[in-house]
Structure 1
């Protein structure tokens, strides 16, 4: 008998013991479990602008944690070593929610405001994010989420209620692009709407030559964002070769600044990234 995982839009049907596409959820004893719960592969005290969040507590720092696995297959992934791993071939250590909160509190003197769930796709292991975020709030600290947004809307609603600021990677504004990376555009757009009603939200769009650098598509995207709220910050970021796209060229600077100009026709807070 197979069990369906409903966490993300892939909805993997798994046999007993089988891992999902994300490498971080598994069918076990008749249910789907998270195999990356508390398994931290990356942890760092980062500036909040690196998330990127420019309009939420600027100048502060946040303890950033990531695990392994991802539900996308981005050929341009900067964190592909952890994103494509099932945890068996990388260094990791278990950090309980209680221990993570203690670490966050100890860093307050260095400017830390809380915890950011980031690096890999944190919501494929949403249980850990939920447990940590509830405890973080009990200690009067902040929760930040960095996600691709291609997660079941009901799970996203449950998590976002405990998040103070979120950056969602709006990778493109076409279904074809989302099919290429294994996501679902409409699910991501709905989660952006959900987040915009409940928390501080900023968006990132990585512009990749030949894949999503269409001027008409950019204009449609920023119009759509503006219809939700023209105050939503948008980071238009420059691509640099990575993972399976080492032979590609970086995004021309003129493209980034052209798109920033287009976005500013509709949005009040637009930032070039990686320039």
Structure 2
């Protein structure tokens, strides 16, 4: 039985319509949840009250933290800068390997903070010197109305916005949501329909449609992440198909991060990803023509470096999330051959480093 929706959770939601049988349908994502009175969608945070759809997590967060931008991961979006990260609860996917399952699978809303207005988040990011704000930990598309309002408040203060998402969203809300974002890291979880259906409860094509939309119809800076799970999505054949699709349908300059799985949630019996698998994935992607391929969740120095795609010079050397050397010009060129490096760069004033600084809700302005 669904948890009752309290008065405090009833923020009017967009993207739904009434059905002839009396139910209402959520039009936010391809799940197309059809709800009777009092029911919640699969994401658990969008529900029906009376004849309307409501968002139950508007203005409420599961926590705030100042991170290095590289942790999102974004390696070509103002490297070395800090980002104020936050999320809410719930998710519209059902990934058996979720690494943030305590937040994304949450059914308990008593732990969500109540004083996280869009203006307070933007002002806090400015006060803490953050270049940007990230919607992360759980998928921001399910709290789209809240995220878009936060983005508006951030942009008034010249603070960038970043969506860390699986990209499982319908066309109309996708247009509205990403119009408010400056960058996105999209989790391309695998490259087979079987994996998406069995391991995430979603469909691959909708994600591919989002990726093509972001690359070809927006000005958003886009990077991809694929978590490699041993025996599930790490075969050479699948990685080659994925890499070739990115090169063909997106662009060889779209950075991709192959990251290591660790046992969690409903996959505690699956071993961690060997570093050798990530190194192989990187080589496969480079052979397919991708220019910026990274490894993550393991300490592999070569897989952390941004190399010039023209002359091969090491331009940004990283040690985990800390930048050890930064040689890009302020306008994003290689100082050795003057080749343009894809990304969003600017005045490089300081290195935030690998710190992770929790921000208490009472510290919000």
- Report TM bin, short chain: over 0.9
* Stretch deviating more after TM superposition (45-54 or 155-164): 155-164
Give 1:163's aligned residue.
181
CA deviation after TM superposition for structure 1 residue 89, in Å: 5.2
Give 1:138's aligned residue.
156
State the alpha-carbon separation in 2 of the partners of residues 36 and 69 from structure 1: 9
| TM-score, normalised by the number of residues in structure 2 | 0.73
State the alpha-carbon separation in 2 of the partners of residues 153 and 270 from structure 1: 29
CA deviation after TM superposition for structure 1 residue 256, in Å: 1.1
* Aligned mate of 2:169, from 146, 151, 157: 151
* Aligned mate of 1:187, from 206, 214, 232: 206
Structure 1 residue 117 corresponds to structure 2 residue 135: yes
| TM-score, normalised by the number of residues in structure 1 | 0.96
Give 1:250's aligned residue.
272
Structure 1 residue 204 corresponds to structure 2 residue 222: no
Structure 1 residue 274 corresponds to structure 2 residue 293: no
Give 1:237's aligned residue.
259
CA deviation after TM superposition for structure 1 residue 258, in Å: 0.6
Specify the structure having the higher radius of gyration (Cα): 2
User: 2:193 touches 2:204 (CA, 8 Å); kept in 1?
Assistant: yes
Aligned residues: 272
Structure 1 residue 126 corresponds to structure 2 residue 144: yes
Give secondary structure in 1 for the equivalent of 2:131. strand
Counterparts in 2 of 1:2-13, with a 5 A limit?
Answer: 2-13=23-34
Counterparts in 2 of 1:62-141, with a 5 A limit?
Answer: 62-88=83-109, 90-108=111-129, 112-141=130-159
Give secondary structure in 1 for the equivalent of 2:164. strand
RMSD: 1.1
State the alpha-carbon separation in 2 of the partners of residues 14 and 87 from structure 1: 21
* Stretch deviating more after TM superposition (38-47 or 152-161): 152-161
* Stretch deviating more after TM superposition (83-92 or 38-47): 83-92
Cα deviation code 1:51-70 (max 9, x no counterpart): 00001100001000100000
CA deviation after TM superposition for structure 1 residue 93, in Å: 3.0
Structure 1 residue 264 corresponds to structure 2 residue 282: no
Give secondary structure in 2 for the equivalent of 1:171. coil
Runs (4+) of structure 1 exceeding 6 A deviation are none
User: 1:69 touches 1:86 (CA, 8 Å); kept in 2?
Assistant: yes
CA deviation after TM superposition for structure 1 residue 114, in Å: 2.1
CA deviation after TM superposition for structure 1 residue 159, in Å: 1.3
